Amino acid sequence: MTELAQPHSRPPAVDKALSWPGMQALIASHGRALVLDCLRTALDAWRAGHITGEAELLYTVQRQIERLLTLSMRPVFNLTGTVLHTNLGRAPLPVEAIEAMTAVALGASNLEFDLETGQRGDRDDHVEAWICRLTGAEAATVVNNNAAAVLLVLNALAQRREVVVSRGELIEIGGSFRLPDIMARAGCKLREVGATNRTHAKDYIEAIGPRTALLLKAHTSNYRIEGFSTALSEAQLAEIAREHQVPLVVDLGAGSLIDLQALGLPAEPVVSRVLQQGVDVVTFSGDKLLGGPQAGIIAGRADLLARIRKSPLKRALRCDKMTLAALEAVLRLYADPDSLVQRVPTLRLLTRSQSDIQLTAEALSSCLQGWAGEAFAVDVCAVSSQIGSGSLPLEVLPSAALRLRSRNTNKRTRSRDLRTLAERLRQLPQPVVGRIADDSLLLDCRCLEDSEPLLAQWAANA
């Protein structure tokens, strides 16, 4: 009997199927254990009537192996118009950060080893000096994200005591993760003051008592209260905190190390300026406006940082060697402000001109039309991008997008056509993620700097 015989009702024995040249080739490439596992699954499908022959059996085993070995996490084209997209990995890393991560990932490193003394070191040593240099803080430490940073600070400085917060700053971030919940897990008691839209100095002063551990101010990065509203500045809160001898902690969220307005972008609090207002401790993200890896940075007074480091939670929330290597590499780039925008992808993408983005979109238009087919009309239109990840939610950046519209005259059918087309884009070898709005599928080209791989995909799959 040949390897691929005609279909028959009874499946072959396992040993016999494994002896086929095709199966032997799979074993040589992927190992016997994986092939055997997939073969048994395929034989079950044969017995259930879903496979009817040896050729189909071999093909099914091969496809199962391919699916199992395809990495779940893979690169995508972010054409959503949101630069710091949480679901798509937030900040793209600079080349220097990737090289630093690779170097320490390949073998041993001095993660917690002092090369000068030959004694045990502290992993914070790799980034603390740079954070202090760039922010003016006395000391700093790093954990795995900003929510962890807030949790650690509250647990270390306010466990079993009260934390005074304005009602207008009881924020909720992505995934229904709320500040009051973090405070509860940190073991401290929330003391709300003021109203949702107005909080005055007297509200804080009247709330401070023997059980007060600290004042907390949270930057409302993912929403804004406008109109009849009042909120105290960091400087005003710092004066109250000093008078009553309690620390002031500010959660900055995105946390920018530079003045974004100087780059023509909307204003965002600069970490160094916030500390200069008398704030004792700040927390902020490493993977948002800073443009680095996911991390939560805590900076401020040395005595308070020493207490924070002693918390048992610090070890549970610490960063690994690759995160610290990437963060150090990114922080070093800030030493040269003149080249910063070009070397940090996040800043480069945020500052791209609309005309440059439009040229990118126009160069892709005809190829996209060929890939999408005549059932869709393709053109280039002006759109608005956003920074994302809770940063400046009401501010937009002028951009340009490829716009695909169904030629079908039925509105319901047009909507289905767009969803089907969006799915086709996500099924490409390197998936393409856009957004559906205004009866169109929009592919915002702000985050597309190298269009050649995308052109090649569309040309190959047209």
Please tell me whether residues 168 and 268 are part of one structural domain: yes
Q: Is 3 inside any structural domain?
A: no
Q: Do 344 and 287 meet the contact criterion of CB atoms below 8 Å apart? A: no
- Residue-level pLDDT at 179: 83
Please tell me whether residues 251 and 334 are part of one structural domain: yes
Q: At what angle are helices 179-186 and 146-158 packed, to 10 degrees?
A: 50
- The two tokens of residue 206 are 């009247």
* Stretch among 3-7, 112-116, 338-342, 402-406 having the lowest mean pLDDT: 3-7
Q: Is 90 inside any structural domain?
A: no
- Residue-level pLDDT at 228: 52
Q: Which amino acid is at 332?
A: R
The residue-averaged pLDDT of 394-404 equals 91
Greater model confidence, 216 or 172: 216
SS3 145: coil
Q: Is 150 inside any structural domain?
A: yes
What's phi and psi for 383, nearest 5 deg? -140, 180
- Residue-level pLDDT at 425: 97
Please tell me whether residues 37 and 100 are part of one structural domain: no
- Residue-level pLDDT at 180: 85
% of the chain at pLDDT higher than 70: 94
Number of domains the chain contains: 3
The pTM of this model reads 0.90
Residue 354 has pLDDT above 90, yes or no: yes
Please tell me whether residues 228 and 81 are part of one structural domain: no
Please tell me whether residues 207 and 276 are part of one structural domain: yes
Last residue of a domain, one of 307, 340, 373: 340
Please tell me whether residues 357 and 296 are part of one structural domain: no
Residue 172 has pLDDT above 80, yes or no: no
What is the side-by-side strand order in the sheet with 189-193? 139-143, 296-300, 281-285, 248-253, 212-218, 162-166, 189-193
Q: Is 7 inside any structural domain?
A: no
Residue 5 has pLDDT above 60, yes or no: no
- Residue-level pLDDT at 361: 98
Q: How are beta strands 162-166 and 172-173 bridged, if at all?
A: unpaired
- Residue-level pLDDT at 390: 63
Residue 227 has pLDDT above 60, yes or no: no
Q: What is the DSSP string of 215-279?
A: EEEE--TT----SS-B---HHHHHHHHHHHT--EEEEEET-BSS-GGGGTS----BHHHHHHTT-
The residue-averaged pLDDT of 116-133 equals 96
The residue-averaged pLDDT of 138-160 equals 96
Please tell me whether residues 295 and 368 are part of one structural domain: no
The confidence band for 4, taking pLDDT boundaries of 50, 70 and 90, is: very low
Please tell me whether residues 189 and 312 are part of one structural domain: yes
Please tell me whether residues 219 and 296 are part of one structural domain: yes
Q: Is 153 inside any structural domain?
A: yes
The confidence band for 395, taking pLDDT boundaries of 50, 70 and 90, is: confident
Q: Which residues neighbour 435 within 8 Å (Cβ) at sequence distance 6 or greater?
A: 80, 81, 441, 442, 444
Last residue of a domain, one of 294, 312, 340: 340
**Using CA atoms, how far apart are residues 376 and 446, in angstroms rounded to an integer?**
22
% of the chain at pLDDT higher than 90: 83
For residue range 203-223, what is the model confidence (pLDDT) as tens digits?
A: 999 999 999 999 999 887 555
Please tell me whether residues 226 and 371 are part of one structural domain: no
- Residue-level pLDDT at 461: 79
CA distances from 206 to 200, 232, 371 (A): 10, 15, 66
For residue range 364-384, what is the model confidence (pLDDT) as tens digits?
A: 999 999 999 999 999 999 999
Residue 60 has pLDDT above 60, yes or no: yes
Residue 224 has pLDDT above 80, yes or no: no
Greater model confidence, 48 or 4: 48
* Stretch among 141-150, 224-233, 247-256, 363-372 having the lowest mean pLDDT: 224-233
- Residue-level pLDDT at 3: 45
CATH number assigned to the domain comprising residue 369 = 3.90.1150.110
Q: Is 1 inside any structural domain?
A: no
For residue range 265-312, what is the model confidence (pLDDT) as tens digits?
A: 988 999 999 999 999 999 999 999 999 999 999 999 999 999 999 999
Q: Mean pLDDT across the chain, nearest whole number?
A: 92
Please tell me whether residues 205 and 336 are part of one structural domain: yes
Last residue of a domain, one of 340, 359, 379: 340
Q: Is 51 inside any structural domain?
A: yes
Residue 400 has pLDDT above 70, yes or no: yes
CATH number assigned to the domain comprising residue 172 = 3.40.640.10
Q: Is 420 inside any structural domain?
A: yes
Residue 389 has pLDDT above 60, yes or no: yes
Its domain, for residue 407, covers 77-85+350-460
**Using CA atoms, how far apart are residues 126 and 296, in angstroms rounded to an integer?**
15
Please tell me whether residues 334 and 368 are part of one structural domain: no
